[in-house]
Amino acid sequence: MTRLHVRPNTQTKSYKSNMSFADLKRKSQSNFDFLQKELTKSTKEGGADERLWKPALDKSGNGYAVIRFLPAPDGESLPWAKVYSHAFQGPGGWLIDNCLTTNGDQCPVCAANNKLWNSGVESDKEIARNRKRKLSYYSNIYVVKDTANPDNEGKVFLYRYGKKIHDKVIAAMQPEFQDETPINVFDFWEGANFKLKIKTVGGYWNYDSSEFAAPSALSADDEEMESLWQQAYSLEFYTNSDQFKSYAELENRMSMVLGTSTPSAPSVESEEYDPAPVSSSTADFNAPDITSSSNDDDDALSYFAKLAAD
């Protein structure tokens, strides 16, 4: 077991605490100062979310980092958040919004995609593919090694990743063969570091070489690990109702995007895509997803780069 190298982190952490009313009163002014700073930060245009860690590539188009997935934050049940979204351009601009199916609700974009897919016209199917929902996961991580940005090492971040990396998490936790031991990769004591290896293949980010190391405790000091755990950001934030438009609002937005002039492309970052759901009616969202014959699982970072270049 090793001792953690923990660097001071000045970023604001969003986690549930057991603050008493007396603490709330005592910290009234400091809480107000914090809100003032957050309000100023939130009104700055184009400001990057400092909570999110992002891997970077070297000049050869490769990237390498070692991260550790952390347990669920205090008061939350899952160490990841699963979010579907839509991102596509129409004559009236861009629609970039969370998909209501994330929380099991009906989505007007998915309903429209269903009609296109079932029209029997191949061009309609291609439109549905382009508007399909995209899949992202969010987890808290501890950065063990970041060759591109060493200042990130020893800090806790949120990490947004796609289906390919999540599949590697599943493979470690639920191995395919009987001679393989399941690993709870989100565990402080019996988890494992994740060696993130990125290659650029055909213009896309490829994670096939990424792998988990042998299981080991993150640290020999429980107090240090507890300190990291207390820095974790809320993951339930991403699936809260206030992160989603209503059905009517999203339907109106879609109508506007599909019928008016096109503004400049916004800056968007994501990873891999998941096909849009296809259902026999707007009330049925358990039908099979739309599938494509190629590149359905390709990294979406390249997809958005192409969008921005158009």
Beta carbons of 9 and 15 less than 8 angstroms apart: no
Write out the DSSP string of 66-133. EEEEPPPPTT-S-S-EEEEEEEEEETTEEEEEE-GGGGT---HHHHHHHHHHTT--HHHHHHHHHT--
Listed residue (198, 188, 259) closest to 58, CA to CA: 198
Q: How would residue 297 be classed by pLDDT, with cut points 50, 70 and 90?
A: very low
pLDDT at 281 over 70: no
Domains of the chain (ranges; CATH) run 51-310 (3.90.198.10)
Q: What does pTM read for this prediction?
A: 0.74
Higher pLDDT, 308 or 147: 147
User: Is residue 186 within 8 Å of residue 194, measured between CB atoms?
Assistant: no
Confidence of residue 49 (pLDDT cuts 50, 70, 90): confident
Query: pLDDT of 176-185, one tens digit each?
Result: 999 999 999 9
**What is the rounded average pLDDT of the residues 203-216?**
95
The per-residue pLDDT for range 4-33, each reduced to its tens digit, is 666 656 554 544 445 555 666 666 666 666
